[in-house]
A = this chain, B = another copy of it.
Amino acid sequence: MAKVNKTKYALLGILNHTSGSGYDIKKVCDSSIGHFWNENFGHIYPVLQRMEDEGLITKEVQQNEGRPAKNIFSITEKGKEELDKWLLLPIEREPIRSELLLKIFLSRDVPVKKIIERIREIKSDSEKDLIKYSEIDGILRSGEVKVDKKSLVLWLTTINYGKQSEEAKIKWCDETIKSLEEIEDL
């Protein structure tokens, strides 16, 4: 079984929400879903092209004064069907690759002090992320963002996922530093 192109579904899903250009999609990826999804232009444009060829989306050129023309893409019925089908498919357990855990696992010959330093950095990053999540949560709950109730709930759950993950990571950092300090003389 060949690897599924998930970019396709991500773009389809974003266009299902609002029609837009490749550039617009990239903005959504960087802002709204940046905490769990990323895309880059080098992939977005060719995939949009392919999707148009497959009839999943349609292109409409929009002229703008003083600005470059935009290719506005919209999802078709066929595209909508394909998206819905994918959304109902079980979530694939993708193989994990954690550089952090690999490094820890292999750090027998690294001085314990250095490892602790590294973990402290990780913890500090997580703390910053946690604050960011709280901020996004606040913005979403403030009502500033115009969005239907159901989507709002769904979006909040993705933020909550981030929060839970970071909290767990911080707890792990604390516990790890503690056990490392106990063997610091080794």
Binding site for B on A (CB under 8 A): 6, 9-10, 13-14, 16-17, 33, 35-38, 83-84, 87-88, 90-110, 112, 114-115, 118, 121-122, 125, 148-151, 153-158, 160-161, 164-165, 167-169, 171-172, 175-176, 179-180, 182-183, 186
Bound-state CA distance A119–B160 (Å) is 14
Per a CB cutoff under 8 Å, which of B10, B104, B109 touches A158? B104
Q: A10-B102, A150-B183, A183-B149 are in contact. Are A109 and B84 (CB under 8 A)?
A: yes
Contact residues in B for A171 (Cβ distance below 8 Å) = 164
Shortest C-beta distance, A34 to chain B (Å), equals 9
* A179 and chain B: residue at smallest CB distance: B153
Shortest C-beta distance, A42 to chain B (Å), equals 13
Bound-state CA distance A87–B144 (Å) is 45
Shortest C-beta distance, A172 to chain B (Å), equals 5
Shortest C-beta distance, A147 to chain B (Å), equals 9
Shortest C-beta distance, A153 to chain B (Å), equals 6
Shortest C-beta distance, A18 to chain B (Å), equals 12
Contact residues in B for A169 (Cβ distance below 8 Å) = 164
* A96 and chain B: residue at smallest CB distance: B36
Contact residues in B for A183 (Cβ distance below 8 Å) = 149-150, 153
A101 touches B172 (CB 8 A): no
Q: A97-B37, A102-B10 are in contact. Are A108 and B164 (CB under 8 A)?
A: no
